[in-house]
Amino acid sequence: MEPLEVAQAYFDAWNLQDPAEIAATFAPGGTYNDPTTGQPLSGQAIVEHTSGLFTAFPDLSFEIVSAGVTGDGTVGAQWLMRGTNSGSFGGGPPTGQTVELPGADFIVVDGDKIRSVQGYFGQRTLVEQLGLQVIVQPYSIGPISFGSSVYVNQGDCSKPGAFSITSISLHSDEEAQEVSGFGARILREMTQMPGFISAVIARAGLRMFTISAWEDVESPKQLLRGGAHKEAMDRVLGPDFATGFMTSVWVPDRINPMWVRCPHCDRMVVHSGKDEKCQCGQTLPENIPYW
């Protein structure tokens, strides 16, 4: 096969949305790398990476804008990727946004197989098209580390009876991405558990934290019964992952009443129940979640 034919077979496999067929276009030990992989991928790692993309973008497709062969047999292909984010991507919920992402691949061909693919595209462009925030900040300044967070609440206004708190220290951004993937799955399972109220997941540098609110001290024990939480624990307790971690359950010593602002007189008023009245005589708005 000519190099352009090999490259076309590679893109055809993408447009068929067939991870195994994509991996089959590579020679043994062949690698794939782009701005999101963190490192070159090979074999089963290519299958897992592409499967994740098809989960995030079930209608993903590539249009080849131009393609040509260099003197050493490398194929340079300019493309336009289209797809709608209707599945989890990067550990977050789907945005429902459609992307048209321009990029390019440089494909090194060896016979009728691919030795390597190096992909290029603008990560900022992808993030902006997904409708996500782009925040530029340092990783750390002195003792202060910066990062990001996710908050999950389904409108439960119950007063927490317990908090589960975890923290984990990691080696790299790649490990942090893996923990984020576990975290997204665990959160989805937690939202179906009786007694779950809300949760915050935060990352600062290479430290990640989860604080979850529960109605009582027994409810967090549901996490120990299996599912994504057990898979995550097995990964952390296994070889060559993370530098340390901590899990705990905390019982509140005191949680004061919730205060809300009256929209009529602008006072902060203690909200202790449904149809609560302000001192001005007006009904207060619905209570807001404690956590």
pLDDT tens per residue across span 11-31 = 999 999 999 999 999 999 999
The number of CA neighbours under 13 Å toward the Cβ of 145 is: 12
Give residue 249's pLDDT.
Answer: 96
pLDDT of residue 137: 61
Give yes or no for a contact between 284 and 274, defined as CB atoms under 8 angstroms apart.
no
pLDDT of residue 174: 83
Predicted confidence at residue 176, as pLDDT, reads 87
Quick check: 16 and 3 in contact, CB under 8 A?
A: no
**Cα separation values, 116 from 2, 18, 32, 81, 105, Å:** 16, 18, 6, 20, 10
pLDDT, one tens digit per residue, over 240-291 is: 999 999 999 999 999 998 898 999 999 998 887 777 888 899 988 887 888 8
**Residue 131 token pair:** 């409708």
Q: Residue 213 and residue 190: Cα distance in Å, rounded?
A: 11
Q: How many Å apart are CA 276 and CA 285, to the nearest integer?
A: 8
Q: How far apart are CA 49 and CA 113, in angstroms?
A: 19
What's the pTM?
Answer: 0.59
| Domains within the chain, CATH numbers bracketed | 3-129 (3.10.450.50), 145-250 (3.30.70.100), 256-291 (no CATH)
Structure tokens at 36: 């999101």
Q: Which residues of the chain have pLDDT under 50?
A: none
